[in-house]
Amino acid sequence: MSAACRAPQRLNRTRSRSRRAALATAGAAAAALVLSACGSGGTSGGSGNTNFITGKDGIATVEKGERAAAPDLSGTTIDGKKLDVADYKGKVVVINVWGSWCPPCRAEAVNFVTVAKDTADKGVQFVGINTRDTSTEPARAFEKEFGVTYPSLYDPTGRLMLRFKKGTLNPQAIPSTLVLDRDGKIAARTLQPLSEEKLREMLDPVVAEK
């Protein structure tokens, strides 16, 4: 077979391999999206450039002097009001990333409502970040069903989640929960749904800080 005949065959094989590689990459990306969309979370170690430690309970913490500041978390709530988490500086802030479509979020909602009420007089503010709901209607129905009274920023595309720097305690799953200290720095994170006991375990040490 002449070189001229072999060349198109080589080109076709190359194109076929490229198409297979592209499909594999797309499939992996889709799988990652599904896993992060509503998973039970995971754990991250304190290796590399990170400065946090994840315990066996799945709660990652950072020593007070090594914490990173939370990014700009401001926008419109699901009720159409303006909210800036920075305005709560001086309080301990619990950030919960949730979606009305997410079964683990529904399972943990009553725990957040209970602890939010119990800790309000201790200078604790709860704020939700509602994500991947295509409209605010199901999110408002979720809040009504579970008696959620604290505000939630509406973030359908995950824009706010992407503002967290890599290597910090950033939310990587739904649900995710973060605790910000009174200086607006990230003190703790978990990537799993929380029982009332685990939520208090995560929050109480930050509340106790002087």
Do residues 177 and 186 lie in contact, with contact meaning Cβ atoms separated by under 8 Å? no
pTM given for the model: 0.77
Structure tokens at 68: 């990173």
Q: Residue 78: is its pLDDT beyond 90?
A: yes
Q: What is the pLDDT of residues 110-121, one digit of tens each?
A: 999 999 999 999
CA distance 61 to 115: 20
Question: What does the alpha-carbon distance between residue 201 and residue 198 come to, in Å, rounded to a whole number?
Answer: 5
Phi, psi at residue 182, to the nearest 5°? -70, -15
pLDDT tens, 79-107? 999 999 999 999 999 999 999 999 999 99
CA neighbor of 60 nearest in space, from 164, 153, 191, 182: 191
Structure tokens at 20: 């297979």
**Banded model confidence at residue 51, pLDDT cuts 50, 70, 90:** low
pLDDT > 70? residue 39: no
For the chain, the C-alpha Rg in angstroms (whole number) is 21
Q: What tokens appear for 22 in the block?
A: 């592209």
Strand, coil or helix: 124 = strand
Mean pLDDT of the chain: 82
**Which range is least confidently modeled, 28-37, 63-72, 163-172?**
28-37
Residues 41-56: what's their mean pLDDT?
51
Taking residues 34-54, what's their average pLDDT? Answer: 47
Quick check: 45 pLDDT over 70?
no
CA distances (Å), origin 72, targets 94, 182, 191: 15, 15, 20
The answer, yes or no, to whether residue 190 has pLDDT greater than 90, is yes
Cis peptide before 138 (omega within 30 of 0): no
Q: Read off the pLDDT band of 29 (50, 70, 90).
A: very low
Tokens of 88: 């709560």
Residue 35 has pLDDT above 50, yes or no: no
The most distant pair of C-alpha atoms in the chain lies apart, rounded to whole Å, by: 85
Q: Is residue 125 within 8 Å of residue 91, measured between CB atoms?
A: yes
> What value, to the nearest 5°, has the Cα angle with vertex 42 and ends 53 and 88?
65
Query: What b/e sequence results for 165-177 when a residue is b if at least 16 CB atoms lie within 10 Å of its CB, and e otherwise?
Result: eeebbbbbbbbbb
pLDDT for the residue numbered 102: 97
Q: Which of 180, 156, 154 is nearest to 74 (CA)?
A: 154
